[in-house]
Amino acid sequence: MTIDSLEQQIAPLREAMLQAVDAYWPNRMDMHRGELIEAFRKLCIRIGQQQSSGQKAPIAYIHFSFLRTWLLQDRVIYSIEAYDDRWYVDRNECLELLELPWLYPLLQSFKQDLGHALFRQVPDTEIDAIVLREFTVLHQYIREWIRSLVPELIALPEFLAIERADVLRIRAGEFKDFSEQLWMEDCTDRQAAELKSWLEEKRSSDCMNSDLRGLDLSGGQYEGIDLRYSHCSGGDFSGSNFQGSICVGTDFSGSKLTGADFSQSLLYDANFSGCDLSSAKLAEAVGGARFFHEGMVLGFYGIDFSNANLQGANLLFADLAGAEFQGANLSGALILKQDALQWNLSEEQRRSITWMEEDESGVPVPVQVQLRE
């Protein structure tokens, strides 16, 4: 069987598994949040015990890792490991296990369907290899579930009591293999001016997952920067140019972003709650409905503009379907008439918006929109 014909067999089964796990997101997964939090709490207790006995240095890495060997034994188990700044060279084992039995039926169904589709076409060992490879379809949801719970995890008294390195990273992925960063706590002495110059260099993926909380980085030329999943809450980015940037999952909550330019930027899952975005530009920004492509997902939560000040902001041609606008000030914001019913807005917000429509030459001009009384 050729690679192309094999992929043709796998693709619809992958899509079925994707739709099945998507039905779990997020409410059915959150029913099990207590299990994850408890496992993390136990890990922190274990870390504290080892540090008290001198067996563990300050923690620099915490990993959530799926275990392939258990997948082949019909169990979905993640290990949560703690390492010092030597990372995998740290041989003082410190881990807890987290089993997710409620997810295994989805993988089991995929495996059974795969066995039927490829019966006598590939050996069983190849089917096992495909199952292990395709587990990433489920893992991406688990990864985002963990990411959503990180604020609660790092607020636990047991976590706050452990000794942490100046830079702590929380990651998720395969055990001692590829992983992605979910959180970074950077307690090093950081100078805003130096960080601003570094960010303006826009070195490929260097800026991803950065800890930029509470800093004055206003007036920056950050065009095209990749700040995905960075933590920028409580900062000052007023007057900054983020045009064409990647801010997927970036947390700007509570930041000053007056006059900032996010035109043509990727904003899936960005958090702008409580931000001052007055006179900001978000024209042609993209971050609307969840996007699926070959088993991968972009846009798990939607953009959050709750309680943000968007007075006078330019949102023309922006794809913000599904964004949260509860409590947001949209007075004088420029929005296309065609989006009037696609966005979740209150009647008060609709009345305060400056609705626009393209004229014959394609130029947006103000227009009246009939609203319910």
Q: Is 52 helix (H, G, I), strand (E, B) or coil?
A: helix
Q: Over its length of 373 residues, how does the chain's per-residue pLDDT go in tens digits?
A: 687 888 899 999 999 999 999 998 888 899 999 999 999 999 999 999 999 999 999 999 999 999 999 998 989 999 999 999 999 999 999 999 999 999 999 999 999 999 999 888 888 889 999 999 999 999 999 999 999 999 999 999 999 999 999 999 999 999 999 999 999 999 998 888 999 999 998 776 789 999 999 999 999 999 999 999 999 999 999 999 999 999 999 999 999 999 999 999 999 999 999 999 999 999 999 998 888 988 899 999 999 999 999 999 999 999 999 999 999 999 999 999 988 778 999 999 999 999 999 999 989 999 987 765 5
